[in-house]
Structures are given as C-alpha cells and as structure tokens.
Structure 1
Amino acid sequence: MSSLTKESFNNISNFGKMFLESYDGSKPIQRKRKNVIICGMGGSAITGNYLEALANFNKSKNQTLVWRSYNIPLFLNNEWIAIVISYSGNTEETLSMISQLQENEIETYVISSGGKLEKFAKNHDLNFTKIPSGYSPRFALPIIFGRAYRLTEILLNLHPISYQMRDHINNFDNLENLSLLGLISNSILSKIPIILSDNEFAVLSIRFRSQLNENSKLMAHNYVLPEFSHNAIVGFENLKHSNYCLVVIKSGKYENQRTRLHREFFEEYAKRKNIIVYSLESRFDNPLIQLLDITRKLDYISYNIALLSNIDPLAVKSIDELKRNLNKN
C-alpha cells in the first residue's frame, strides 16, 4: 500500500475530525436572504448536494442549486450568491463558470487549495477561502464540506455545530471494526451494484456511485425512491441472471412512510430475483451527523473494494487521458 493510499484510508477513518477542523477554520457569510448556487465538478461539487439536502432538512427559505457545467444559468441575478469550489483550483469547467459569474457581477465566494482559481480570486478581489492541499479531491470531501457548511450556515439556516454534535462526530465507530462493510465490499466485488435511497438522502447514492466509479473502478447504478417505482423497477422484470447487489441507504426517522412501503416492496422483490440485499443507516438522529456517518462508511466500502481487487483507488487513467486530449485543443 502506497503512502498516499494509506493517507486516503486515514482520511476516511478521520472523516468527522477533518470536517470539524475545516469548519472551525472559517466564518459564515453574513447574509440571510440570498439564494445560493454552488458551482464545481466531481469531488468538489458533491459538497453542494450535501448542502442542498441539509438546507431542506433545516427548512431554509433560500433556494439552493448545484451547477456542474462550463456555463452558468442564464437566470442568475443579484438575488444569488455563488460558492465556487475546485479543490485543485485548475478545473477548467469551474474556471469558465467563475469568469462568467464575474462578467455578470454575481457575488462570489471561492473555496480551493490554490491553482488558477486562487489567482483569479485574488486578481478580482473575491472572498477566497484556502484549504489544505495534497489530497485527492474525492478524499478531501470532509475538508471542503466543513468549510462550505460554515460559510453557508446563516444563508441556508444550518445548525451551528453544538458541543453535543461535536462529541458525536468525534466519536464515530472505528471503521476497522465494522464487519458489515467488509461483507458488502466482498459482495459488490463480483456483482453490479445498485444503490437505492430516498430523495432526502439522494446525495448519498450519488456519492457512493461516484466513489465506486473512481476508487473501485466499477460501473454502478443509483436510483431514488419513490421515482424509481415509476420506471426503473420495470427493468428488473426480465432479469436473466442475479449478477447484482442491492445496497439500500435508509434515512431513518426522515423516511416518508409511503416511501418506506416502496422500499420494503422492492427489497422483497429483489430477493425474489435472487439479488443480494444490504442496507445501511446511521444510529444518529441529526441529519448532518447521519450524512457524515454514512458517507465515511460508503467511502470505506469503495476503498476496500479497490484493495481487494489490487487496484490503486487514487489512479484515474481515463480522466488523465481526457485532460491530455483537452489540453491539445
């Protein structure tokens, strides 16, 4: 195991502590009535989906939008604040978006470890928050998320981190003792993973799918209930083999009771199709702590699959090849 790979495992193990350290390194934006657009790509942009979920749980009156593109939405105006995130600071789509944000005079805050984005922010006198460098962007999630959570605390009506919340986050179960995660890892190793969540926890199914893609080098499918019941479920009717594994992410007390009926039906339906079914949920009630807790478990599964397959979880050869091609044009 390389030193960087070991560092990645340490990041998963210390997920909560890294989140808190980053949270403590910033101050909230002093605004109450502004809509928020989070601009970024990949492991940087996923933070926006976490904020979007938490804004809903906390009944934020401000709209939250996550945007992954070269172009910004045409409807943006002075009622919006932009949070631009690129861990490396060199993501070309993000650099394109921030340029357009400035052309349209949108108030902008930047989170990055440096690169071209830091230079742009300083040249345009933007609010810039520097985070530690040296991590793979997807393993830097707790750092990016912690900083972004603090920045948008007032804007999105998020709960300040209390002493009790800190205690829970600092004392997550040791990942090495969670045998269920190893069992799921071994099952997914030889199967095609299907990830199912409700709409409130959709960010977790997105995160897990992308981590399986990048860390484990696997194709995976993620679906959201109850929408899944109106289309994708039919695709299982003519299933000819059982080369699938279903991972259900539960939202505990936040699960709508009618959605629960959808979930329970499909869990039984999948078993009749000889699909192995696993479920993951958090023992905590607070939505932020639930998201942090389940995320680190999902990250560990994707990381563990890579090790079981003798694959480098950090290598992304196809992305590197694409970037070389883009640089030629």
Structure 2
Amino acid sequence: MDLNKDVLDTVNFLPDQLWEAWEESRKVTLPVTFKNFKRVLVCGMGGSALGGRVVKAYASDKSSASIDVLTDYSLPSYVDSQTLIIASSYSGNTEETVSCLNQAIEKKLPVFVIAAGGKLIDLARANNLPVYILNPKFNPSNQPRLAVGYSIGAIFGALSNCGAINETDNEILEVVDFLKVEQGELKTKAEELAGIIRGKTPILVASEHLTGAVHVVKNQLNESAKSFSASFDIPELNHHLMEGLKNPNDVTSKLLFIFFSSGLYHERIQKRYPLTKEVVEKNNVATYEYKMVGDNKLKQVFEVIQLGSYVQMYLGALYQEDPLAIPWVDYFKEKLV
C-alpha cells in the first residue's frame, strides 16, 4: 500500500511529540499567581482543540480544576481570575482563538499560550504572557491534527506547573515506552480495520476517559481519509440512538459501529457494551469491537489515538486520497475572508 512518508513518520512520532511537549512546556516560567485555579478553558479549533478534548476526558476525575474546551469566538461569561485560559493554535493564526486571546488580555485573565508561530506568539510576547512555542520537528506532515501529541503534552505540562494535575515523568515515560512497543501490532490492526471500514460510515463508540481520544480519531478520519465519521458515548447513546437505527435503510446499511471497550470503565458501563452491540446487530448494522490493551487510562487514551492515526492513514490510501490536502477547508477559509 502506497503511504505518504511524511504522514507515516508523523504518526510514528506520536510518543516523541508527547515527551517533547511535556518536557519543554514545564520549562516555561509562570507567574507566581498561577495556582489554585478552579477552572481551565482551552480555546482552540479543529486539530488544535484535540488536546483539550483529550485532557478534559482523561482528567475529569483527576484535575483539581474543571476543564472545558471552547471552539468559538467569544469567551463565556463565567471566566474570571480563577480561570486559566489556554489559547492553542498550531499556526498561531486561527481567528477564533486569536479573538478569545484578545478578550482574555482585555479582561486581564491568566493565560497560557501554545503555538508554533503567528499572531498568538506575537500577542504573548507583546503582553508578557507565558507561552510554549512548538518546535514541530516531530511533525513532518505539518498538519495540526497530527500534532496531537504536542498539544496533549503541552496542556499536561501547563496544568502540572499550575498544580492542577499530578502526572509524573515516570507516568508519561510509561506511555511513551508502551506506544513504541505496541506500534507494530497497532499498525497491523489498523490496516485490517481500515479494510473493514472501507465503503462504510464509521460510528465510533467510547466512554469516560476515551471519549476525547475517539474525537481525535473522528477528526483525522474526516480530514485525512476524507471519510464521514461520527462519535457517540455510552451510556448517553443508550437513551436515544438505539431507536435511530431503522430509517432510512439505505443509510443505516452503510454504518459500521466501532466499539472501544475497556476493563477500566465503570462496571455498569462495561455491562452496557455487549448489550449495545447486540441491539445494533439486531438492527442489521455491522459492528467491530476493539478491546483496549493498555493497563492504565493514560496508556489507553494514547492507544486509541495511535491506532486511529494509523487507520486514517491506511483508509486514505485505500480511497486514494491525499492525506495532506484539505481542499474544502481551504476553499471555505478563502471565501470567508
């Protein structure tokens, strides 16, 4: 199968991105007031919002501050001096994120900036804000959606420095080592899964700590493989989606439900997975189950991201799509000006 070398190298670099950003972001000097935050708001769009979604899902029961993600132009009314604003944009020029950063500066809110360049860096320097400047040496594809390791590592680093999370070097290194050991097997599984997805619409199903990681996979399938995809979480989908699998038949017959099952989910959620799969199959909708291998939640988060990154690469190749081109996003941005 003919794969894009820059994309393959970038996907393989996921653990290197994580470690690089974790180490370097913690070297950023923070004001002494950056402690005891009650809330964290990650402002970003598309690929640059993925890290925030992952950290929100993973750290919801670990962080001393509530974490949310904003994909819009305007800050919510609740933000105040006890809210850390993380402005994240790979290019540094995403207009929605620039708008939020300007508002945060005007309101004199605590801000941490993550970018590789652009207006965000200029604003951070002009206003003496703490900033982690990405060095994208582990992203030869230069695609924000494939720089998710940087994004997660940088947010982890910022939250660690603020005392909001307690992850350690050893915990991050365990994930790095786990990914490098499992990459070969994950490639094999991903190539198989891409073949199963081909011609189908993948519906990704996960829970709890994996919902953010599944959002990453959905985003990458959209942009890189040019494939429609959607994601749902259990238990929420059990309250509505199971009744929506009947009509129209020519659509539901094309669906493929991909279940990411984990022994680390709440015991009641674990019980729901085989029952949900049974209901889906009784509606004549195809299913695939991926059973998590990682022995802790953070490993499983990156296991999903690594697997999904390989799947989007193989699926795009099967569809003979250019994984780097985003013609409709580019068209939209040009017309929006």
Same fold (TM over 0.5): yes
Matched residues, number: 324
For 1:324 and 1:174, locate their aligned partners in 2 and report how far apart those are by CA, in whole Å: 38
Alignment match of 1:160 (pick from 157, 168, 173): 168
For 2:178 and 2:284, locate their aligned partners in 1 and report how far apart those are by CA, in whole Å: 37
Q: Greater shift after overlay, 195-204 or 99-108?
A: 195-204
- 1:39–1:85: 8 Å Cα contact kept in structure 2? yes
The corresponding residue for 1:245 is: 256
Letter in 1 for 2:76: P
Alignment match of 1:56 (pick from 54, 60, 83): 60
The corresponding residue for 1:190 is: 199
Determine helix, strand or coil for the equivalent of 1:252: coil
Deviation for aligned residue 1:299: 1.2
For 2:267 and 2:299, locate their aligned partners in 1 and report how far apart those are by CA, in whole Å: 22
Deviation for aligned residue 1:192: 1.1
Deviation for aligned residue 1:26: 2.4
Q: Within the alignment, does 1:43 sit opposite 2:51 as a pair? A: no
The corresponding residue for 1:215 is: 224
The corresponding residue for 1:75 is: 78
Alignment match of 2:296 (pick from 272, 286, 292): 286
The corresponding residue for 2:182 is: 173
RMSD of aligned C-alpha atoms? 2.2
Deviation for aligned residue 1:188: 1.2
Q: Within the alignment, does 1:322 sit opposite 2:332 as a pair? A: yes
Q: Within the alignment, does 1:97 sit opposite 2:107 as a pair? A: no
Determine helix, strand or coil for the equivalent of 2:300: helix
Q: What does 1:221-240 correspond to in 2, within 5 Å?
A: 221-238=230-247, 240=249
1:100-157: CA deviation from partner (whole Å, max 9, x where unpaired): 0111110111010001111111111111111024611011111222122111124332
The corresponding residue for 1:275 is: 285
Q: Within the alignment, does 1:145 sit opposite 2:152 as a pair? A: yes
1:286-320: CA deviation from partner (whole Å, max 9, x where unpaired): 22221112101011101111111110011111110
- Runs of 5+ unmatched residues, structure 2: none
Alignment match of 1:123 (pick from 115, 121, 126): 126
The corresponding residue for 2:24 is: 25
Determine helix, strand or coil for the equivalent of 2:298: helix
For 2:309 and 2:179, locate their aligned partners in 1 and report how far apart those are by CA, in whole Å: 18
For 2:67 and 2:176, locate their aligned partners in 1 and report how far apart those are by CA, in whole Å: 29
1:58-112: CA deviation from partner (whole Å, max 9, x where unpaired): 2x22111111100011111111111110000110111101000111110111010
Alignment match of 1:305 (pick from 284, 293, 315): 315
1:161-195: CA deviation from partner (whole Å, max 9, x where unpaired): 21762563463313476432222101211111111
- 1:78–1:106: 8 Å Cα contact kept in structure 2? yes
Q: What does 1:255-270 correspond to in 2, within 5 Å?
A: 255-270=265-280
For 1:144 and 1:167, locate their aligned partners in 2 and report how far apart those are by CA, in whole Å: 15
For 2:208 and 2:220, locate their aligned partners in 1 and report how far apart those are by CA, in whole Å: 19
- 1:69–1:94: 8 Å Cα contact kept in structure 2? yes
For 2:182 and 2:35, locate their aligned partners in 1 and report how far apart those are by CA, in whole Å: 36
Change beyond 3 A, Cα 1:166–1:210: closer
Change beyond 3 A, Cα 1:147–1:2: farther
- Runs of 5+ unmatched residues, structure 1: none
Q: Within the alignment, does 1:107 sit opposite 2:110 as a pair? A: yes
Letter in 1 for 2:313: Y
Identity, in percent, stands at 25
Determine helix, strand or coil for the equivalent of 1:247: strand
Change beyond 3 A, Cα 1:136–1:121: same
Give the TM-score taking structure 1 as reference length.
Answer: 0.91
Higher relative contact order (CA 8 A, sep 6+): 2
- 2:257–2:286: 8 Å Cα contact kept in structure 1? yes
